């Protein structure tokens, strides 16, 4: 993220209305399944717990299709104290000036693109956390969660001023174009309504990225490549995606683990750090959403927050160390001996002298249809004088297209040369590539830790690196974590 350089906007106080504690009269009532007596009891218990804790932002999930009520203790954090108070975060705090709500006048022909249910994180600038969407976005990492850059219809200006942190709203989304450096496409929210009663979520089983209890902590490590980030939700569930798009969505913190983390926010005086609403969720950052939405860029605050980030990194490391590792590949090439040395020796194919001296001869010779088909499909490399080559028939414009006169070859080398290269699959590994399927083969934990340095190089796949074993080359070998 770009640092604020000149001029530095003034520091101003967060003008969000004070946070209203979540009590029975403020908590939206969930949708009830057929078995209303059981749900009524569960709701009553849940309301008593929430009134005692005042913790974060909670929800009661919509019942599954089999009408079984959701297990309350798994969906909500049931503690006897307000654990958010452990973080030291208050409803008011300093924010970096300059960020404003982007209002727009939607034209009458603006097209409705969807509906959302969202949680209010801030009103100026207007920031929401999308909890559910209809239609469900094809790429949930952009369509759900915290949305910082959403436009707001001009007609909603007075409406959003009456909202406060943690309110749940419904709204319609509209796509529109607007003038920027070039013609740009934006999305605006309109028809905003605060939900005071039951919440009728669109999705019965939402993606784990979009936990409807709401985000409590968001962490994007300094090592991110814009993919890696961690979410801790109000129900203590954890979502983590690493730089290589490995996803961990089945984790949950204990109450003690969450309390310890929140205590670190207090110890580091996180509440006193100025919020920066221009912080991108894809850049190194840390956000706490207890009593307000407080996003902090890590580039200038990382040393001060090391206690927190070290603890979150240790949780991530524990998930990775306990994961099942699976080795997969994208493509397998056959290596054949070159049978056409009398026509074109592969080590001479691209030399200018050879091509000039043999142009007339080669232009009068056509390759067999079977060879041309094999070459065009590019599933085969060729071995010639202990070297490996890729070969091709080009699209020459000198009249030699379709003949040996329009033929070329390129050696596949072992050293890195900026293009494709190969390595020999290490013989000391117990996993053999011939036994790896395209759907993946598990790497035993003992095998992984015995050769960890090598296997870790496969956590990021490289299309330019092929591995040789026997008479086959394997492309895009990748060690995934599950």
What is the per-residue pLDDT across 317-334, written as a single tens digit (0 to 9) for each?
999 989 999 999 999 999
395 pLDDT more than 80: yes
Q: What is the pLDDT of residue 331?
A: 94
Q: Is 356 helix (H, G, I), strand (E, B) or coil?
A: helix
CA distance 354 to 359: 8
- pLDDT-based confidence at 183, cuts 50/70/90? confident
Residue 129 burial (C-beta neighbours within 10 Å; 0-12, 13-18, 19+): buried
- pLDDT-based confidence at 75, cuts 50/70/90? very low
pTM: 0.72
Q: What is the pLDDT of residue 138?
A: 58
- pLDDT-based confidence at 438, cuts 50/70/90? confident
pLDDT per residue over 322-367, tens digit each?
999 999 999 999 999 999 999 999 999 999 999 999 999 999 999 9
Q: What is the pLDDT of residue 402?
A: 93
- If you average pLDDT over residues 220-245, what whole number do you get? 90
CA distance 396 to 186: 46
CA distance 356 to 20: 84
- If you average pLDDT over residues 99-106, what whole number do you get? 90
Angle of helix 255-267 versus helix 306-321 axis, rounded to 10: 150
More confidently predicted of 482 and 53: 482
């Amino acid at each position: 993220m770009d640092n604020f350089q000149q001029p530095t906007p003034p520091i101003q106080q967060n003008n969000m209305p004070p946070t209203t504690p979540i009590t029975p009269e403020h908590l939206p009532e969930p949708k009830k399944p057929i078995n209303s007596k059981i749900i009524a009891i569960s709701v009553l218990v849940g309301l008593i717990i929430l009134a005692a804790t005042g913790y974060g932002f909670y929800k009661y999930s919509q019942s599954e299709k089999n009408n079984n009520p959701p297990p309350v203790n798994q969906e909500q954090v049931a503690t006897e104290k307000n654990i958010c108070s452990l973080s030291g975060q208050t409803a008011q705090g300093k924010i970096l000036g300059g960020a404003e709500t982007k209002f727009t006048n939607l034209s009458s022909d603006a097209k409705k693109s969807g509906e959302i249910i969202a949680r209010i994180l801030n009103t100026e600038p207007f920031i929401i956390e999308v909890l559910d969407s209809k239609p469900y976005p094809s790429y949930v990492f952009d369509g759900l969660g915290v949305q910082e850059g959403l436009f707001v219809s001009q007609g909603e200006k007075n409406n959003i001023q009456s909202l406060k942190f943690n309110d749940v709203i419904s709204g319609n989304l509209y796509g529109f174009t607007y003038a920027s450096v070039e013609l740009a496409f934006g999305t605006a929210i309109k028809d905003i309504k605060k939900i005071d009663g039951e919440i009728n979520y669109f999705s019965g089983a939402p993606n784990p990225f979009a936990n409807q209890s709401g985000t409590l902590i968001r962490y994007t490590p300094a090592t991110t490549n814009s993919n890696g980030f961690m979410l801790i939700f109000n129900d203590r569930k954890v979502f983590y995606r690493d730089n290589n798009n490995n996803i961990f969505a089945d984790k949950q913190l204990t109450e003690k683990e969450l309390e310890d983390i929140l205590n670190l926010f207090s110890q580091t005086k996180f509440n006193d750090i100025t919020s920066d609403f221009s912080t991108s969720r894809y850049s190194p950052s840390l956000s706490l959403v207890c009593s307000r939405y407080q996003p902090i860029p890590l580039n200038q605050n990382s040393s001060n927050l090391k206690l927190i980030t070290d603890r979150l990194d240790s949780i991530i490391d524990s998930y990775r160390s306990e994961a099942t590792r699976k080795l997969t590949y994208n493509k397998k090439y056959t290596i054949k001996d070159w049978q056409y040395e009398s026509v074109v020796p592969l080590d001479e194919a691209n030399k200018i002298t050879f091509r000039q001296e043999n142009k007339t001869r080669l232009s009068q010779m056509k390759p067999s249809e079977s060879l041309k088909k094999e070459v065009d499909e590019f599933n085969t490399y060729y071995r010639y004088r202990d070297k490996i080559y890729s070969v091709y028939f080009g699209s020459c414009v000198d009249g030699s297209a379709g003949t040996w006169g329009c033929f070329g070859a390129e050696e596949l080398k072992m050293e890195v040369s900026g293009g494709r290269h190969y390595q020999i699959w290490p013989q000391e590994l117990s996993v053999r590539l011939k036994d790896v399927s395209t759907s993946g083969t598990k790497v035993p934990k003992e095998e992984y830790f015995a050769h960890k340095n090598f296997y870790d190089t496969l956590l990021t796949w490289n299309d330019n690196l092929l591995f040789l074993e026997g008479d086959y080359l394997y492309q895009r070998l990748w060690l995934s974590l599950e």
